[in-house]
Structure 1
Amino acid sequence: MSITALRRTGIAVSAAAALTLTACGGVETSTGSGGGGDYPSGTVEMYVGASPGGSSDLISRAVSKGLSDNLGASFPVINREGANGALAAAEVAKATPDGSKIAIQNASLFAITPLAVSPDEVTKIDDFDIVGGVSRDDYVLVTNPASGFRTLADMKNGNRVVRYGTTGVGTGAQLSAALLFKTSNINSQAVPFDGGAPALAAVLGNQVDVASLQVGEAIENIQSGKLTPLAVFGPERIEYLPDVPTAKEQGLDVEVAQYRFMTVPKETPQEVQDKLAEGMKATFATEEYQEFNKQNSLTPMELSGDDVLTQLQEDQTRFAELVKQYGINLRDEG
Structure 2
Amino acid sequence: MTNVRTRTRIASVAGTAALALALSACGGVKNGSSGGGDASGGSDYPSKSIQMTVGASAGGSSDLISRAMSKGMGQSLGVAMPVVNKPGANGALVAKELQKASSDGYSIAIQNASLFAITPLAVSESEAVKVDDFDIVYGVSRDDYVLVTNPKTGWKSVADMKSAGRTIRYGTTGVGTGAQLNSALTFATAGIKATAVPFDGGAPNLTALLGAQVDVSTMQVGEAIENIRAGKLVPLAVFSAERVKYLPDVPTAKEQGFDVQVSQYRFITTPKGTPQAVKDKLVAAAKKTFASDEYKKFNEANNLTPLEVPGPEIATKLKADLASNTAKLKQFGISLASNG
Q: Does the TM-score normalized on the shorter chain lie above 0.5? A: yes
Aligned with 1:8: secondary structure? helix
The aligned runs of 1:249-264 (5 Å cut-off) are 249-264=255-270
Q: C-alpha offsets along residues 55-100 of structure 1, whole Å, 9 cap, x if unaligned?
A: 1001000000001111101110011110110111111110110001
4+ residue runs over 6 A deviation:
none
Partners of 1:329 and 1:104 lie apart in 2 by: 28
Q: C-alpha offsets along residues 119-178 of structure 1, whole Å, 9 cap, x if unaligned?
A: 111111111001110000110000011011111110111101111111111000000000
Q: C-alpha offsets along residues 190-219 of structure 1, whole Å, 9 cap, x if unaligned?
A: 111111111111111011000000001000
- 1:96 equivalent to 2:102? Answer yes
- 1:76 equivalent to 2:82? Answer yes
In structure 2, do the counterparts of structure 1 residues 3 and 173 end up closer, same or farther at CA, with 3 Å as the change threshold?
Answer: farther
Indicate the residue corresponding to 1:269 in structure 2. Answer: 275
- 1:283 equivalent to 2:283? Answer no
Partners of 2:334 and 2:148 lie apart in 1 by: 22
Aligned with 1:173: secondary structure? helix
- 1:182 equivalent to 2:188? Answer yes
Name the aligned partner's letter for residue 132 of structure 2: D
TM-score by length of 1: 0.93
Shift of 1:8: 3.1
In structure 2, do the counterparts of structure 1 residues 33 and 237 end up closer, same or farther at CA, with 3 Å as the change threshold?
Answer: farther
Partners of 1:180 and 1:225 lie apart in 2 by: 24
TM-score by length of 2: 0.91
Partners of 1:17 and 1:56 lie apart in 2 by: 25
Aligned with 1:91: secondary structure? helix
Query: Which residue of 328, 331, 334 maps to 2:337?
Result: 331
- 1:53 equivalent to 2:53? Answer no
Indicate the residue corresponding to 2:213 in structure 1. Answer: 207
Unaligned runs of 5+ in 1: 20-27
Name the aligned partner's letter for residue 207 of structure 1: Q
Name the aligned partner's letter for residue 325 of structure 1: Q
- 1:66 equivalent to 2:67? Answer no
Name the aligned partner's letter for residue 271 of structure 1: A
Unaligned runs of 5+ in 2: 18-29
Q: C-alpha offsets along residues 19-60 of structure 1, whole Å, 9 cap, x if unaligned?
A: 9xxxxxxxx73x734311121110101010001111100100
Query: Which residue of 176, 179, 195 maps to 1:170?
Result: 176
Aligned with 2:337: secondary structure? coil
Indicate the residue corresponding to 1:8 in structure 2. Answer: 9
Partners of 1:292 and 1:32 lie apart in 2 by: 33
Partners of 1:64 and 1:275 lie apart in 2 by: 14
In structure 2, do the counterparts of structure 1 residues 185 and 4 end up closer, same or farther at CA, with 3 Å as the change threshold?
Answer: farther
Q: Is the 8 A contact 2:136 2:270 kept in 1?
A: yes
Shift of 1:4: 4.7
Q: Is the 8 A contact 1:2 1:214 kept in 2?
A: no
Partners of 1:205 and 1:333 lie apart in 2 by: 22
Name the aligned partner's letter for residue 9 of structure 2: R
The aligned runs of 1:310-325 (5 Å cut-off) are 310-325=316-331
- 1:130 equivalent to 2:141? Answer no
RMSD: 1.8
In structure 2, do the counterparts of structure 1 residues 4 and 82 end up closer, same or farther at CA, with 3 Å as the change threshold?
Answer: farther
Shift of 1:235: 1.5
